[in-house]
């Protein structure tokens, strides 16, 4: 990502890294659709504002559907980016899984007993013994792959100190990447594309609020919830903010019902 690409979004110019494959990726397409939607909406809105034959009310009536269509499209694309992120999380979790998945996803009684024996050995070591054991494991992590997995699978968190967990996890993940280079490259690419798309989606929203002065975060959240686009609202604002807004809406509805 040595080079950057310039993008015109409304009256702003932003840059993004020139990441191979981004434009064709699901998140690249989603970001492009959102950019185009904002550019088209701002151009259409300006054309309406410049129309001398329209009254202020006439202009408002023409602008409302333009802006509604923009934010509906934006919400869908933000939702798509979030869904891609969830898929990337699942792919990464699968790459770094601790349990065997082939040919049988279930551990055998022998596997379970061997794990327990390894963890028992570890618990019996003092601090100096653990330090020496970690050095030996690090010197040949491939030969000690079973011990690494057994220790990381421990059901007792206190079996491992934080730094021990970190060292073992790093060795385990490195071994998984070496054993699955194509999948590791895919995970890295997904993460890179996702980071670019998330930044663009946030920039588009900020530029949109600047270009359309009647819009802000609160209005967009209300708009999405009114349209039943709850998942899009969560993708943009987070589950906590959406849950809070929904509770406030229910409270207002109860008050209005009592006042009626």
The domains of the chain are located at: 4-95+194-259, 109-182
Q: Is 215 helix (H, G, I), strand (E, B) or coil?
A: coil
> How high is the pLDDT of residue 94?
94
> How high is the pLDDT of residue 8?
96
Model confidence pLDDT, tens digit, residues 80-131: 999 999 999 999 999 998 876 555 566 788 888 888 999 999 999 999 999 9
Instruction: Specify whether the backbone of 228 is left (phi greater than 0), alpha (psi in -120 to 50) or beta.
Output: left
> How high is the pLDDT of residue 105?
63
pTM metric for this prediction: 0.83
How far from chain centre, in Å, is Cα 182? Answer: 21
Q: Is 155 helix (H, G, I), strand (E, B) or coil?
A: coil
Which residues of the chain are modeled with pLDDT < 50? none
Please say whether the beta carbons of 25 and 193 come within 8 A: yes
Neighbours of 218 (CB within 10 A): 10
CA of 112: how far to CAs of 34, 106, 148, 154, 227, in Å? Answer: 50, 10, 14, 11, 51
> How high is the pLDDT of residue 108?
83
CA dist 173 and 175 (Å) reads: 5
> How high is the pLDDT of residue 101?
56
The length of the chain in residues reads: 260
> How high is the pLDDT of residue 129?
94
Place of tokens 């967990």: 165
């Amino acid at each position: 990502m040595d080079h950057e690409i310039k993008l015109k979004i409304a009256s702003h110019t932003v840059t993004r890294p020139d990441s191979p494959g981004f434009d064709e990726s699901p998140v690249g397409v989603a970001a492009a659709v959102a950019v185009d939607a904002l550019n088209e909406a701002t151009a259409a809105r300006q054309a309406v504002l410049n129309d001398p034959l329209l009254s202020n009310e006439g202009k408002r009536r023409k602008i409302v559907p333009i802006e509604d269509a923009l934010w509906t499209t934006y919400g869908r694309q933000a939702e798509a980016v979030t869904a891609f992120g969830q898929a990337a999380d699942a792919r990464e979790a699968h790459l770094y899984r601790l349990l065997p998945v082939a040919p049988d996803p279930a551990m055998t009684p022998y596997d379970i007993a061997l794990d327990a024996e390894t963890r028992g050995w570890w618990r019996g070591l003092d601090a100096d013994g653990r330090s020496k054991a970690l050095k030996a494991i690090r010197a040949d992590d491939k030969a000690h792959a079973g011990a690494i997995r057994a220790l990381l699978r421990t059901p007792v968190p206190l079996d491992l100190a934080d730094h021990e967990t970190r060292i073992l996890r790093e060795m385990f993940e490195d071994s998984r990447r070496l054993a699955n280079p194509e999948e590791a490259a895919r995970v890295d690419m997904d993460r890179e594309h996702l980071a670019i798309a998330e930044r663009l989606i946030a920039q588009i929203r900020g530029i949109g609020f600047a270009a359309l002065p009647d819009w802000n975060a609160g209005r967009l959240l209300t708009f999405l919830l009114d349209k039943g686009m709850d998942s899009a609202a969560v993708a943009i604002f987070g589950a906590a903010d959406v849950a809070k807004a929904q509770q406030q809406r229910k409270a207002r509805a109860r008050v209005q019902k009592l006042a009626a």
